[in-house]
Structure 1
Amino acid sequence: MSKFSAAAMLVLASSLGYTVTVHAASTPAAVDAERLQSAAQEPANWMTHGGTYQEQRFSRLDQIDQDNVDELGLAWSYRLDIDRGVEATPIVVDGVMYTTGAFSVVYAFDAKTGELLWKYDPEVARTAARDGCCGPVNRGVAVWKGKVFVGAFDGRLIALDADTGNEVWSVNTLIDEERSQTITGAPRVVKGRVIIGNGGAEMGVRGYITAYDADTGKQAWRFFTVPGDPSKPAESEAMEMARKTWFGDKYWKQGGGGTVWDSMAYDPELDLLYIGVGNASLWNRQVRSEGKGDNLFVASIVAIRPETGEYVWHYQQTPGDQWDFTSTQTITLADLKIDGKTRQVLMQAPKNGFYYVLDRTNGELISAEKYVPVTWAKRIDMKTGRPVVDLDKADWTKGPKLMMPGPLGGHNWMPMSFNPQTGLVYIPAQIAPALLEPDNEATWQGRGTLQLGTKPPALPEDAEARAQVVDMYRGKLLAWDPVAQREVWSQDYPTIWNGGTLSTAGGLVFQGTANGEVRAYAADDGELLWRSPANTGVMAGPVTYAVDGEQYVTFMVGWGGIFPTGFGGLADNTRVEPRARVLTYKLGGTATLPDEPKRKLTIAASIPPLDADEKTIAKGRDLFNMHCGACHGFSAYSGGVVPNLRNMAPQTHNDFLHIVAGGALIGNGMPSFADRLSKDQINAIHQYLIKRQHDLADEMSANDS
């Protein structure tokens, strides 16, 4: 790897008048506490996940601005190895970009030219995809003193040499290898400790976050977010407190949830690390906790000490969560003038549909208002800080209810940004309802299976009914005033799952879209100023940096994850290809993307006859949606990321039992399900898929007539 001189760090002085630090690096990824704490003074770099410890995703670079952004062109692109969903935020340090693709593969590029410097594949078993609810995605790396850290999907935390990509150390972060624990989030480094959480609440695991010594990989501390086996001593005073809010003996057997699978932020002045805690498991509180209790610390923001993991304070946004309302969305720190007084605040737009502003010194609620349509709660009580739940509309455990938002949330993991010039946050918001129906007899279903306490997710199989549901799902780029708690402007999209945002001192907001574009808007009024095709859906948050005085903007692009795979039947308004790439733009860029036609769906030449009765097909539908739907699409509506089972070839039908029970396609990432499905159950699933293939043939014939 080439070494970069100070000349590679020179950038145009910001029109804001801030001091711009030029750092001469003698070694790659020469990032330490001093650089991270003053990262805003080095706008040529993007040294941590949110740009700075405050996670504002705002850049002081302004060479690209509202007047010239329409001159942006592609500078370079790189085709990643695996087309299974791209969610990473690149890290850029001293002219080198570090990023990840599916299955936690790490790439290092020359940030100016796109030359691949090295690649590291942690060799995660492709069958491990079954252990995650939402695809084998990865949201990026962290860097510190010449090392690059990545959380592998199978639960390892790995340190790499930033110069060569060689492995330095690796630790297993899992506490129970019999459960479907994963890592999809990006690590953070604070005071020489690499901090990472875990995923898997939907699969029935217990949440925690762990810190490791950056030099050796030795565990420094672990903070559990939900209590474990009550017959054993609690791990901390925080867990003693949490135990009082859980009831019965099923919660810990089911895992409890509360996974810290994404967001963190750090305040060096207060020396507080803020973590966002995920949903409860099972979703169904009647089964999980006898229908009562706040169930700490699910759906909460928790402040802890980064050196010791000591609990300081918490604020629970959704007590007793039973709607999958994670609090793992972007946590943003800022100082805002509220009621004439400057407040040190923490801001978040979690899944539950309310925008929260908290005092980050003590967790006090300052304000909370709906940023998308919300039916489950009427408001947040400012005296108690608790939601005023509308039980008539929200309690689905006694009968099916249409929820707003549904489990996909008013805002999911896609990062939001905050621009201190405009005072606005830019949220990839979405309208995403869902019908929840109880399964109050739910029991542990085994590894690799959704553990929800609801009837299996399903989509209407009637074309007209499905079209009506599809029309209910809409996305928007929302510019929100966190002081006034109101919308300032918005841009509408035809579907949900649009990308994260980046705001800049050039007066711009950058965002990619689910239907395959990258865009730039005016930060003050939302005018669309630039757009370019990405040839795939865009979910990740973009970054900007500078090399040799020239500003670049990078988008990680590639369709995948839970909405494109599990809910492919709701993505009719996108129909993009899952092509994974790095796309980097600059003023006057002249590179081009290859012309890649969309795949055409054809009717199979031969479809087996449907000889099962309605009861068998209904059984097969439930089994398919519970065990197979998250990858192959609920109700067998494929999003095009993995094989479309409504269009199986005759040989696939002949080999169906051998594939599902015998592992015939294990080399392609399709595991054997012989450990959880009987031969009769597999046959019921097959009959259901035959029925769905006939449905597809009928739909296509009707469209052609």
Structure 2
Amino acid sequence: MVAKGFSLLAVVVSGTCLALSGCGMGLANSSQDLAQDGVNGRLIAEGANDAWPSYGRTYDEQRHSPLADINRQNVRDLGLAWFADLDTSRGQEATPLVIDGVIYISTAWSKVKAYDAVTGKELWAFDPEVPGKAGVNGCCDVVNRGLAAWGDKLFLGTFDGRLIALDRKSGKTLWSQVTVDQSQPYTITGAPRVIGGKVIIGNGGAEMGVRGYVTAYDAQTGKQAWRFYTVPDRPGKNAETYLKDAEKTWNGKWWAQGGGGTVWDAMAYDPELDLLYIGVGNGSPWNHGIRSEGKGDNLYLSSIVAIRPETGEYVWHFQETPGETWDFTATQHIMLADLKIDGKVRKVLMQAPKNGFFYVIDRETGEFISGKNFVPVNWASGLDPKSGRPIENPEARYYKTGRPWIGSPGAGGAHSWHPMAWDPKEKLVFIPAQIAAFPYFADKDWKPAKKGFNTGVDMSAGAMPADRKVRAGAEQATQGVLIAWDPVAQKERWRVTFPSANNGGLLATGGGLVFQGNMKSEMAAYATDTGAKLWSYPVQTGVVAPPVTYKIGDTQYLAVVAGWGGIWALAPGLLSQDGGPVHNVSRLLVFKLGGKAKLPATPPINQLPIDPPPFTGTMQQVKSGAYRYGRFCGTCHGDAAIGGGLLPDLRRSAIVADKTAFQTVVHDGALEANGMVSFANVLNPDEIEAVRQYVVHRANEDRDLDAGSAKTASR
């Protein structure tokens, strides 16, 4: 095991050592090495071919497995080997780890389970008991994206901000550290990474109002090793040179809302260069005019930053969206590869972030190599070919023009957290992309609040109206696309289109296949060279998590944690169900060739009718309630009060019909244990009643719209 600094690991993985016959330290290609030595840097760098020991399988995060027993010729024979029902009914986004014949998963609410990877027998379960009231701090469901392993330990980041070390054999807690100020709206949904015996974890919360950072902890003891902040503190408080440099790019009192810049997902590591790459998130608030008086690039928001994993020392950065104001994070999947560009092999970093451009960057220096939009983009006309800086459309700066901006891509991004995959044979990156616009209206009355979205954008102004033509147009313009992208030529090779903007994370294999789940409740396999659909399986629930593959004995398996959820099952309202309503049936599903297991019958979708009481309020209440609903309620209960199917659709709720009951829930927090906390510190009783009247008004509009549609259809 590599104990310090990865100096030995850098030698091992470099071509110099591998060329010497006397090296005596070959890289692992079998999980037998995992059983003998535990998980270490050598194993993650190379990747045990028959296991899945780290989030992206290997440090380069390529999500490609060389396993080829399941291939284009026989994938049609892939069937269910076994499944395990989960005890949470929220979004499932985790990447399983497979080590020593055991499959480990995290689930919603940061729970962990271990199963025999062949039989599906549950070996142990761990519940960190995240309090339900923590759910209000999340922008995008109470999800967890996965675990990390090192030695004989597993590491879990919990939704309420803890980092926990578990014994891999028993699931018992070995140590636990609170990594955030729990009085602030921080969350952890991303997977940790372990480098040189240091567990590295980020956090989320930039929509709510926090300051981002990543922290490293000793894997054995849990002692903090270093912390790297991604945005500067107030003037006079920044000791590090990189933060002093960043301070020059900020204006106003940005620190009052933290500044944002949370590192909630993407990381990658190059052992040879000994560089850790982190993706930095959006600003807090989104609105650059409020956050920084509309001035400055605001480093290191929306940037990729390279740091030393041993010390947390800054090395270089590349900012993708200077002066970020659209929720254009750079926290999307970071992938490393060596590509031949202009006749020369270059060590590159690749990313398809929210802003819609695919970037190829020199990972040694941070130099921009190339970039091209992979979906329609209207906020910029392109990237400067030398610097990579976007050539902005001035109209996109909505806070300057005073006019609304319908941005494409929108705040949901051209690509969200869902992992990409790489095929080294075809030299293609597969991107689970999204085509969806978003209406940006500057919130002229914005003031920071202790709950809800602190974005500086009026989340109600562009709410979906009760208009069939507008809704049909929005649905038609919103798509999910699986894109095969040539990163050298910067062009699309092929694509598959889905009816919803959401489509799941990816896995590519040596069998010439790319696997993906989708909103239509299926797992599917596509040919990597053409995109031809070669296999699909009905899994009874939407899938957003990425699959993995592993081999035990002579059998290759495919595993995925299924369960509809995440931001696209919540906030977009009507567009959450574009293509039809979706179940959440949370399960771990494992497939093999010739698998004969059967799922139980698909449960029916029992949706309550829209049967609201008569609207008795005033239009002033509707206007006031719409604004507050957009800011405090819509992220969970859906745009325009149209539920996405995961949490209660308030238009159909009996509580909304009862003024007293509504106050008891929203003001008094009667359902706090379920995550519905009291909003008394941001909404007074009159404002809560205005929200209720808005929902009643919306429910009446939609009932009448549905009734009109039924009459038209019957003619």
Residues 250 and 295, structure 2, Cα contact 8 Å, conserved in 1: yes
Residues 613 and 657, structure 2, Cα contact 8 Å, conserved in 1: no
Residues 50 and 57, structure 1, Cα contact 8 Å, conserved in 2: yes
Residues 68 and 509, structure 2, Cα contact 8 Å, conserved in 1: yes
Name which of 143, 148, 158 aligns with 2:149: 143
Residues 29 and 93, structure 1, Cα contact 8 Å, conserved in 2: no
Q: How much does 1:662 deviate?
A: 1.4
Instruction: Write the distance in 2 (CA, Å) between the matches of 1:602 and 1:51.
Output: 43
Q: Deviations over 1:366-413 (max 9, x none)?
A: 100111101111111122321111113454542101101111111111
Instruction: Write the distance in 1 (CA, Å) between the matches of 2:471 and 2:452.
Output: 25
Name which of 161, 165, 168 aligns with 2:167: 161
Name which of 32, 40, 43 aligns with 2:40: 32
Q: Counterpart of 1:313?
A: 316
Q: Which amino acid in structure 1 is aligned with residue 703 of structure 2?
A: A
Instruction: Write the distance in 2 (CA, Å) between the matches of 1:241 and 1:19.
Output: 40
Secondary structure in 2 aligned to 1:566? coil
Q: How much does 1:28 deviate?
A: 9.3
**Which residues of 2 match residues 348-363 of structure 1 at below 5 A?**
348-363=351-366
Instruction: Write the distance in 2 (CA, Å) between the matches of 1:28 and 1:623.
Output: 57
Q: Counterpart of 1:599?
A: 605
Residues 513 and 539, structure 1, Cα contact 8 Å, conserved in 2: yes
Residues 323 and 407, structure 1, Cα contact 8 Å, conserved in 2: yes
Q: Counterpart of 1:668?
A: 674
Name which of 486, 493, 496 aligns with 1:488: 493
Runs of 5+ consecutive residues of structure 2 not aligned to the other structure: 1-25
Q: Which amino acid in structure 1 is aligned with residue 597 of structure 2?
A: A
Q: Counterpart of 1:122?
A: 128
Q: Deviations over 1:116-173 (max 9, x none)?
A: 1111111001121100111111100001111110000000000111111111100010
Residues 466 and 705, structure 2, Cα contact 8 Å, conserved in 1: no
Secondary structure in 2 aligned to 1:582? strand
Q: Which amino acid in structure 2 is aligned with residue 205 of structure 1?
A: V
Q: Counterpart of 1:211?
A: 216
Instruction: Write the distance in 1 (CA, Å) between the matches of 2:337 and 2:96.
Output: 23
Q: Deviations over 1:326-355 (max 9, x none)?
A: 001110000011111000000000011110
Instruction: Write the distance in 2 (CA, Å) between the matches of 1:178 and 1:297.
Output: 24
Q: Deviations over 1:260-308 (max 9, x none)?
A: 0000000000000000000111111111111110100000000000000
Q: How much does 1:26 deviate?
A: 8.1
Instruction: Write the distance in 2 (CA, Å) between the matches of 1:489 and 1:155.
Output: 40
**Which residues of 2 match residues 517-532 of structure 1 at below 5 A?**
517-532=522-537
Q: Which amino acid in structure 1 is aligned with residue 486 of structure 2?
A: D
Name which of 687, 691, 704 aligns with 1:685: 691
Q: Counterpart of 1:11?
A: none
Q: Which amino acid in structure 2 is aligned with residue 217 of structure 1?
A: G
Q: Counterpart of 1:190?
A: 195
**Which residues of 2 match residues 564-579 of structure 1 at below 5 A?**
564-570=569-575, 571-579=577-585
Q: Counterpart of 1:10?
A: none
Distance 1:323 1:650, change over 3 A: closer
Secondary structure in 2 aligned to 1:413? coil
- Counting matched residue pairs gives 681
**Which residues of 2 match residues 420-569 of structure 1 at below 5 A?**
420-446=424-450, 448-457=451-460, 458-464=462-468, 465-569=470-574
Residues 495 and 574, structure 1, Cα contact 8 Å, conserved in 2: no
Residues 226 and 311, structure 2, Cα contact 8 Å, conserved in 1: yes
Q: Which amino acid in structure 2 is aligned with residue 537 of structure 1?
A: G
Instruction: Write the distance in 1 (CA, Å) between the matches of 2:656 and 2:399.
Output: 43
Instruction: Write the distance in 2 (CA, Å) between the matches of 1:650 and 1:684.
Output: 15
Q: How much does 1:23 deviate?
A: 4.0
Q: How much does 1:650 deviate?
A: 6.0
Distance 1:105 1:235, change over 3 A: farther
The alignment's C-alpha RMSD in Å is 1.7
Secondary structure in 1 aligned to 2:494? strand
Distance 1:29 1:414, change over 3 A: farther
Matched, 1:326 2:329: yes
Q: How much does 1:190 deviate?
A: 0.3
Secondary structure in 2 aligned to 1:210? strand
Distance 1:29 1:670, change over 3 A: farther
Matched, 1:632 2:637: yes
Q: How much does 1:516 deviate?
A: 1.3
Q: Which amino acid in structure 1 is aligned with residue 55 of structure 2?
A: H
Q: Deviations over 1:455-504 (max 9, x none)?
A: 12453231412222122111111000000000001111111110011111
The 10-residue stretch of structure 1 (467-476 or 197-206) with the greater mean CA deviation from structure 2: 467-476
Q: Which amino acid in structure 2 is aligned with residue 503 of structure 1?
A: A
Runs of 5+ consecutive residues of structure 1 not aligned to the other structure: 1-17
Residue identity (%): 49
Q: How much does 1:666 deviate?
A: 2.0
Q: How much does 1:663 deviate?
A: 1.7
Distance 1:701 1:545, change over 3 A: same
Name which of 22, 30, 34 aligns with 2:30: 22
Instruction: Write the distance in 2 (CA, Å) between the matches of 1:82 and 1:543.
Output: 21
Residues 377 and 394, structure 1, Cα contact 8 Å, conserved in 2: no
Instruction: Write the distance in 1 (CA, Å) between the matches of 2:42 and 2:56.
Output: 17
Q: How much does 1:101 deviate?
A: 0.8
TM-score, length-scaled by structure 2: 0.93
The 10-residue stretch of structure 1 (455-464 or 104-113) with the greater mean CA deviation from structure 2: 455-464
Q: Which amino acid in structure 2 is aligned with residue 481 of structure 1?
A: D
Q: How much does 1:652 deviate?
A: 6.3
Residues 27 and 146, structure 1, Cα contact 8 Å, conserved in 2: no
Q: How much does 1:545 deviate?
A: 0.5
TM-score, length-scaled by structure 1: 0.94
Matched, 1:236 2:240: yes
Residues 514 and 574, structure 1, Cα contact 8 Å, conserved in 2: no
